[in-house]
Structure 1
Amino acid sequence: MTQQPVIFIDGEAGTTGLGIRDRLSALPVRIHSVDPAHRKDPAARKDAMAEADLVVLCLPDDASREAVTIAETLGQNAPRLLDASTAFRTAPGWVYGFPELSPAQSEAIQGAPRVSNPGCYPTGAIALLRPLIDAGIMEPHYPVCINAVSGYSGGGRAMIEAHTRDGGPAFELYGLGLEHKHVPEIHLHAGLTRRPVFVPSVGHFAQGMIVSIPLHLDDLNGGVTGDDLHTALAGRYAGQDRVHVLAAEPKLSAEALAGRDTMELRVHGNPHSRQAVLTARLDNLGKGASGAALQNIALMLGLPQA
């Protein structure tokens, strides 16, 4: 019998780590853990990395960089790495872990020693923008504005506590300094040459997300219609089991995909005004985090997709 690959989740007690650990029950792998009393001990973590075929980093950015340094001390015995932080999503030498990014991306992930798991907001934004730019419908310098709303579960302990106590906020805009950490990731992997405007928000619900991008059709190439945009997206994601291009709806609930690892893309167009709104709906903890990590883990280890 073939030995099961070993996975060490560095930071398994956090929201993303717990989500990945729970999902790993669907894959034929063995999870190697560190005694909770030693989870921050560099020596214990190094020993765990030495035992693993793949290390999944579910840590803050600086801690992820430290973990990579620890892994590098193992030299030829260093494990492959999947990082869930923001630290390496635009870094040279790391493959971006969005398998649907291009026809060749899954193969690149399969063979990569280091993979960066995408952010939740960028997953939706890049999925909508990249096919239009690749098809020549949208110029890379198009002035993109991205609006998004997420459940509070992805915002860390302070945000979760604020929303779960009595009288928590109903809705909040944030990142209004226009320096959100996901902007460089969207800018690079969507194929944009002009920095996008990104306005995130959080609603008073635990899980779910909608990313929306308004467009003036006359500013795109070729006199396109909303149907043309739908066709471009549908063509890119044909045959994908996690990204679905669906018909427009008059309204969308951000919570509809909570607990699922899929994403829905739509084009809501008005032929009279020559305007459209692109939307991506996903679970911020699913396809936007732990679900995406499970997809990458299966690719990196050559396992059937769960």
Structure 2
Amino acid sequence: MARTVFIDGAAGTTGLEIRERLHGRSEFDLVALDDARRKEPAARAEALNAADFAILCLPDDAAREAVTLIEPGSRVRVIDASSAHRVAPGWVFGFPELVGRDTVAQAARVSNPGCYSTGFIALLAPLVAAGLLPADWPYTCNAVSGYSGGGKTLIERFEGDHDIAWRGYALGLGHKHVPEMQQCCGLAIPPIFSPAVIPAHRGMVTEIPLPLAAMARAASAETLRFALTEFYAGSRIITMGEEPLFGEILLRRSREPSDRMELFVFASADGSQARLVALLDNLGKGASGAAVQSLNLMAGLDETAGLRL
């Protein structure tokens, strides 16, 4: 029997991409509210409590409200794609490669990782946990993303103003991804995070520079690369990238949707410095693809079903 899935916020970018990944799949029946009812609390409450799974593709406050609409004893299991519950008690962080596939499969409440933090955590968390990089280092993270992750307003801004070449933001150092980046990597100090948006619809590069020679208890770049290769050896979604052609990584405006993520470790000739780099689709493993991966596991299915790999 097919499981019912209600996407609360199905008209947004993340919701639309989740629907695309579930389209035509016999394992799920999508529950939809028409435009006249999709913002009515009573209609949403009815759909939430009647579904087997609910995926919240909403702003943070609306996601919190949605959870309050779920009645005690309801069978619905929730995946929240907002940042409202990423470090909240009682919620499982929806990163199966790190928290465990069985943990996600058995969870009643799963919070989707943020797009930027997905790359940062994938690179750093296994290395800190293994003692190959120090937990008390003041890490920095530089990242660029396509504008589709910013929602309707930012999409309209970029597509309406073709003179924008680069948009740096979170200049007050309070980006909402930082708490999960710190917590999931077990860091003593919040990382300094410098995000930016570029005039491409999708795609993301996240980088962590490492001055290895100045870091006590830091392993060599070769050891870091080997450790990440071993850690993700069983994953069809997260892989180690090949040595890039011409020594460069490109984000193309014509990039096709993908739910994969590639990791790289680059090093200086003398080994004193390294750059950890993650390349992903901010709408794929960084959002909708991650939600569908968790949904698959929670439904007892292959985690890659419906994903674009």
TM-score, structure 1 normalization: 0.94
Listed as ranges, the matches of 1:117-196 within 5 Å are: 117-196=112-191
**Per-residue Cα deviation, 1:113-149 (whole angstroms, up to 9, x for no partner):** 1000111000000000011101101111111000000
Q: What is the DSSP-based 3-state SS (H/G/I as helix, E as strand, rest coil) of the residue aligned with 2:205?
A: strand
Listed as ranges, the matches of 1:222-301 within 5 Å are: 224-249=219-244, 250-255=247-252, 258-272=256-270, 274-301=272-299
**Per-residue Cα deviation, 1:167-212 (whole angstroms, up to 9, x for no partner):** 3301121111100011111011122111100000011111000001
Asked whether the equivalents of residues 12 and 151 of structure 2 are also in contact (C-alpha less than 8 Å), the reply is no
Q: What is the DSSP-based 3-state SS (H/G/I as helix, E as strand, rest coil) of the residue aligned with 1:177?
A: coil
Give the Cα separation in 2 of the matches to 1:279 and 1:43.
Answer: 45
**Per-residue Cα deviation, 1:24-48 (whole angstroms, up to 9, x for no partner):** 1264200011122011111111111
Shift in Å at residue 62 of structure 1?
0.2
Give the Cα separation in 2 of the matches to 1:166 and 1:30.
Answer: 39
2:21 equivalent among 16, 20, 23: 23
Asked whether the equivalents of residues 97 and 232 of structure 2 are also in contact (C-alpha less than 8 Å), the reply is yes
Asked whether the equivalents of residues 133 and 218 of structure 2 are also in contact (C-alpha less than 8 Å), the reply is no
1:80 equivalent among 58, 77, 94: 77
Give the Cα separation in 2 of the matches to 1:8 and 1:196.
Answer: 35
Asked whether the equivalents of residues 146 and 212 of structure 1 are also in contact (C-alpha less than 8 Å), the reply is yes
Asked whether the equivalents of residues 137 and 221 of structure 1 are also in contact (C-alpha less than 8 Å), the reply is no
Give the Cα separation in 2 of the matches to 1:231 and 1:53.
Answer: 41
Give the Cα separation in 1 of the matches to 2:24 and 2:211.
Answer: 44
Aligned equivalent of 1:37: 36
Give the Cα separation in 2 of the matches to 1:162 and 1:35.
Answer: 27
Q: What is the DSSP-based 3-state SS (H/G/I as helix, E as strand, rest coil) of the residue aligned with 2:167?
A: strand
2:209 equivalent among 214, 222, 229: 214
Shift in Å at residue 223 of structure 1?
6.0
Match of 1:133, as an amino acid?
Answer: V
What is the percent sequence identity of the aligned residues? 47
User: What count of residue pairs does the alignment treat as equivalent?
Assistant: 300
Shift in Å at residue 88 of structure 1?
0.1
Q: What is the DSSP-based 3-state SS (H/G/I as helix, E as strand, rest coil) of the residue aligned with 2:274?
A: strand
TM-score, structure 2 normalization: 0.93
Structure 1 residues 11 and 258: CA distance shift in structure 2, 3 A: same
Structure 1 residues 54 and 82: CA distance shift in structure 2, 3 A: same
Match of 1:251, as an amino acid?
Answer: E
Aligned equivalent of 2:4: 6
Give the Cα separation in 1 of the matches to 2:224 and 2:14.
Answer: 33
Q: Which runs of 5+ in 1 are unaligned?
A: none
Shift in Å at residue 227 of structure 1?
1.1
Q: What is the DSSP-based 3-state SS (H/G/I as helix, E as strand, rest coil) of the residue aligned with 2:88?
A: coil
**Per-residue Cα deviation, 1:76-107 (whole angstroms, up to 9, x for no partner):** 124111000000000000000011114xx211
Give the Cα separation in 1 of the matches to 2:149 and 2:218.
Answer: 39
Give the Cα separation in 2 of the matches to 1:131 and 1:95.
Answer: 18
Listed as ranges, the matches of 1:39-54 within 5 Å are: 39-54=38-53
Asked whether the equivalents of residues 117 and 289 of structure 1 are also in contact (C-alpha less than 8 Å), the reply is yes
Aligned equivalent of 2:101: 106
Segments ≥4 residues shifted beyond 3 Å: 219-223, 255-258
Asked whether the equivalents of residues 152 and 159 of structure 1 are also in contact (C-alpha less than 8 Å), the reply is yes
Pairwise CA RMSD: 1.5
1:199 equivalent among 170, 194, 215: 194
Shift in Å at residue 49 of structure 1?
1.6
Q: Which moved more, 1:184-193 or 1:267-276?
A: 267-276
Q: What is the DSSP-based 3-state SS (H/G/I as helix, E as strand, rest coil) of the residue aligned with 2:73?
A: helix
